[in-house]
Structure 1
Amino acid sequence: MRAAVLTQFGAPLTVREVPDPEAGGGEVVVEVLAAGVAPYAAEVFSGERNYPLVPPVVPGIGGVGRIVHVGPDATRLRVGDLVWCDSTVRSRDDALTPDITLQGWSSRGEGGARLARYLHDGSFAELMRVPTENVFPLPAAAGDDPARWAALTVHVIPYGGLLAGGLAAGETLLVSGATGNLGSSAVAVALAMGAGRVVAPGRNKAALDLLADRFGPRLRPVPLTGDEATDRTAMSTAADGPIDMVIDLLPPSAPSSAARTAAMTVREYGRVVLMGGVGMLGGHDLALPYPWIMRNSITVRGQWMYPRSANVGIIRLLASGTLDLAPEKVRSFGLNAVNDAVTYAASHGGPFDRTALIPSAR
Structure 2
Amino acid sequence: MKAWMFNRPQLTLKLEDVAQPELRAGAALVQMEAVPLLSYTRNYLQSNLPYAYPPSPFTPGTNGIGRIIAVGAGVQQFQPGQRVAVNPYWIANEAVAEPPQVLIGLTGISADSTPMLEEFPHGSLREVAEFPVSTLLPLDGLDHVAAERLAVLAKFIIPFGGLRRGRLSVGETVAINGAGGYFGSAAVLAALAMGAARVIALGRNAQALQKLVELGQGRVVAVLLSGDVAGDASAIRTAAGGGIALAYDMVGQASDANSTLALLHSLRRGGRLVLMGSMQVALPIPYGDMLLNNWELIGHFMYTSADYLALLSLVKAGLLSLDAVELKTFAFPALEAAIDHAAQMKGLQATVSLF
Both structures adopt the same fold (TM-score exceeding 0.5): yes
Higher deviation after alignment, 164-173 or 6-15: 6-15
Within-5 A mapping of 1:76-225: 76-142=77-143, 144-225=145-226
Distance 1:145 1:132 in 2: 22
Relative to structure 1, the CA distance from residue 198 to residue 66 in structure 2 (aligned partners, 3 Å threshold; closer, same or farther) is same
- How far is the alpha carbon of 1:254 from its aligned partner? 4.2
Structure 1 segments of 4 or more deviating over 6 A?
none
The equivalent residue for 1:230 is 231
| Aligned twin of 1:352 | 348
CA contact (8 A) 1:158 1:185 kept: yes
Matching residue within 278, 282, 286 for 1:285: 282
Counterpart CA distance in 2 for 1:313 and 1:126 is: 28
CA distance in 1, matches of 2:14, 2:225: 42
Q: Deviations over 1:249-284 (max 9, x none)?
A: 1102442222222122111111111111112xxxx3
Could you say which residue in structure 1 is the equivalent of 2:275? 274
Separation in 1, partners of 2:324, 2:286: 40
RMSD between superposed Cα atoms in Å: 1.5
Deviation at 1:110, TM superposition (A): 2.7
Aligned counterparts of 1:37 and 1:206: Cα–Cα separation in 2? 24
In structure 2, the partner of 1:20 is 20
Question: 2-side partners of 1:100 and 1:264: how far apart?
Answer: 33
User: Does structure 2 conserve the Cα–Cα contact (< 8 Å) formed by 1:256 and 1:286?
Assistant: yes
* Distance (whole Å) between structure 2 residues aligned to residue 93 and residue 14 of structure 1: 36
Q: 2: distance between equivalents of 1:65 and 1:311?
A: 16
Shift, 1:17, TM fit = 1.2
CA distance in 1, matches of 2:223, 2:171: 20
Distance 1:49 1:253, change over 3 A: farther
Partner of 2:46: 46
Partners of 1:285 and 1:155 lie apart in 2 by: 27
Identity %: 29
2:244 matched residue in structure 1: 243
Q: Aligned equivalents of 1:128 and 1:331: distance in 2?
A: 23
User: Measured at CA, do residues 143 and 66 of structure 1 come closer, stay the same or move farther in structure 2, by a change above 3 Å?
Assistant: farther
Question: Which amino acid counterpart does residue 351 of structure 1 have in structure 2?
Answer: G
Asked if 2 retains the 8 angstrom alpha-carbon contact of 1:31 and 1:65, the reply is yes
Whole-angstrom distance in 1 between the partners of 2:145 and 2:304: 27
- Paired with 1:10 and 1:325, the residues of 2 have a C-alpha distance of 38
Question: Any gaps of 5 or more consecutive residues in structure 2?
Answer: none
Preserved CA contact (<8 Å) 1:61 1:153: no
Q: Is the 8 A contact 1:27 1:131 kept in 2?
A: yes
Amino acid at match of 1:354: A
User: What is the count of residue pairs matched by the alignment?
Assistant: 354
Q: 1:77 to 1:291 in 2, by over 3 A?
A: same
Q: CA deviation at 1:148?
A: 1.0
Residue number in structure 1 paired with 2:315: 318
Distance of 1:140 and 1:272 partners within structure 2? 35
The 3-state SS of whatever aligns with 1:111 is coil
Structure 2 CA distance for partners of 1:9 and 1:269, relative to 1, 3 Å: farther
Describe the SS at the equivalent of 2:218.
helix
2:265 maps to which residue? Answer: 264
Gap runs ≥5 in structure 1: none
| Distance in 1, Cα, partners of 2:157 & 2:255 | 22
The offset of 1:9, in angstroms, is 6.6
Q: Report the Cα distance in structure 2 between the residues aligned to 1:225 and 1:10, rounded to whole angstroms.
A: 43
Give the stretch that moved more between structures: 130-139 or 167-176.
Answer: 130-139
Paired residues of 2:11 and 2:47 also in contact (CA < 8 A): no
| TM-score of the aligned structures, taking structure 1 as reference length | 0.94
Shift of 1:224: 1.2
Q: Shift of residue 139 of structure 1?
A: 3.4
